[in-house]
Structure 1
C-alpha cells in the first residue's frame, strides 16, 4: 500500500484505526529523512495490511509540536490506536522489519490490560 500523507486533521482518525499504523515524521531538508524514505516506502509495499503514513514537519509544525517531535526522522508505531513505539533516527531496513514483526506479534488484549492498569494507577495517584 502506498504511503499516505497525514495532516493535523487526519492524524487522530488514522492512528485510532484498527491494525498497525507507522508514522514517519520528516522534512525535505533532513538528509537522514531522505535516506530513510525509500526504506519506509519499500516496507509499505512489503506490508500491505499496515498503514504507512508520513507527516511533513515543515507543513505540520503545530502537529509535530503537539506530539513532542524534537528531532527527525521520528518513527511512531501504533496498533489498534495504542502507541507502541516512538523514537528518533533512521532505521535500517532489517531493524524496521524487526520492529514491525514485534508489533504484529504483540498480544493486544494484554497490552490493553497493561494500559488500563497504568491509567488506573495514574488516576489513583492524583485522587
Structure 2
C-alpha cells in the first residue's frame, strides 16, 4: 500500500475509518521531510493494515495550524480515532518501526480511561 494525500476534506474519514493512522506533516522545501519520505513510503508498503497519510503543510495550512504544527516533519499516530503519538523530527526506519509497534501494542481501553480521568480532573470552564 502506498501513502494517501490527506486534506481537510478527507482527514476525518481517514482517522475514523481506520484502526491505525500515521500522518506525516511535511513540505516540499523541507530537507528532513525529503529524507523521511522514503522511510515513510517503505513503512506503508510493509504495513498495509495501517493508513499512512501525508499532509502537505503548504497546501493544507489550516489543517497544519489546527494541529499546531510548528516544526516539520511531524509524525502523528491515531489509534481508534485517538491521537496517541505526536513528535516533530525525521525518524529513521528502526525508530518508525518502534513507534508502529508501540501504537499496535496499546491497550486502548486503558488509554480511554486515562483520557477520561484527565478530563475529569480539569476544572470546568
TM-score normalised by length of structure 2:
0.95
Other-structure match for 2:108: 108
RMSD of the TM alignment (CA)?
1.1
State whether structure 2 residue 124 is matched by structure 1 residue 126.
Answer: yes
Distance in 2 (CA, whole Å) between partners of 1:87 and 1:107 is 20
Distance in 2 (CA, whole Å) between partners of 1:120 and 1:45 is 40
Other-structure match for 1:54: 54
State whether structure 2 residue 82 is matched by structure 1 residue 67.
Answer: no
Which secondary structure does the structure 2 equivalent of 1:83 belong to? Answer: strand
Number of residue pairs matched by the alignment = 125
After superposition, the C-alpha distances for 1:28-66 in whole angstroms (9 at most, x for unaligned) are: 110100000000000001111000000000100111011
Other-structure match for 1:26: 26
Other-structure match for 2:80: 80
Q: Unaligned 5+ residue runs, structure 2?
A: none
Runs of 4+ in 1 over 2 A off after TM superposition: none
Distance in 2 (CA, whole Å) between partners of 1:27 and 1:19 is 26
State whether structure 2 residue 9 is matched by structure 1 residue 9.
Answer: yes
Other-structure match for 1:97: 97
Distance in 1 (CA, whole Å) between partners of 2:59 and 2:27 is 9
